[in-house]
Amino acid sequence: MPAHPPFFSVLKPNPPPVWYVTNGELTVGPVFTGLLMRGVEQGRVPEYCRVSADQARWRTLDSVREIAARKRPAVEAAEALKEVERREERIRDEDELLHHVTRLAMLVTRAESGMLHLRNRAGRCFATRAVLGPMPAGSLNERLPEEDLVLRSALLGRPVMGPPYGPAEDALALRFAASAGGVGGAAMLPIFVDDSLQAMLELSRPGHGFRRDDLQRAERIAQRTLYQHAN
């Protein structure tokens, strides 16, 4: 079969869009969409910032199609949280509630896997009460040892997030080592209710680390749900 001649297009490609970004005081740019998205994902561009292609008409970050697509899970999580609140009175089983909290946190952060460790009623230890995602559930209902580095960080009120990685971050990543997609980013959020550590929410995903804004949403979901459950 003869080879076909080289094809060409008469349509000239549009230049890649560039954006100016402002927080109301400082304006930077122009930057390409990919760089803007990385800034949003890594928390360097807060949600209240606005963008413009010409510095004349300023719009919200959601007006950038690619950013809006990435934020849809957060919107879905907000709707799911409302549904959980509506179902709160009907949820009698604590395990079901903890499952919902973990699932919502995974949805809002786009995590692949998640765990929730809850302080027992005597307040003496933490046990793994939820394990979600493509990973073994062998640790379910097991107690965390007192020497656990991630637990020690939680007791001090310190979140654990990687990358970058250190001893505590490595210990956290090891928990998710069997997750199907591997561990590109991992985070542990100490969940405080009335100034008392009640739970540890742990998340992982392949690719890159979590956005701080997304983790704060997950933290609020867990705090709010556990508070309502306790009261």
Q: What is the pLDDT along the chain (231 residues), one digit of tens a residue?
A: 455 555 544 545 556 678 899 888 888 888 888 888 888 877 788 888 899 888 888 888 887 877 776 666 666 666 666 665 555 555 667 888 899 889 889 988 889 999 999 998 776 799 999 999 998 888 889 999 999 999 999 999 999 998 888 899 999 999 998 888 788 899 999 999 888 899 999 999 988 888 887 888 889 888 888 887 776
Q: d(Cα 36, Cα 65) in Å, to the nearest integer?
A: 12
CA 21 from centroid of its chain's CA atoms:
24
Q: Where in the chain is the domain with CATH 3.30.450.40?
A: 71-230
Instruction: Specify the pTM.
Output: 0.66
Q: d(Cα 110, Cα 216) in Å, to the nearest integer?
A: 13
Cβ contacts of 113 within 8 Å, gap of 6 or more = 106, 131, 132, 133, 134, 135, 176, 179, 203, 204, 205
Instruction: Identify the CATH assignment for 71-230 out of 3.30.450.40, 1.10.3720.10, 3.40.50.1370, 1.10.760.10.
Output: 3.30.450.40
Compute the half-sphere exposure of residue 211: CA atoms within 13 Å on the CB side of its CA: 21
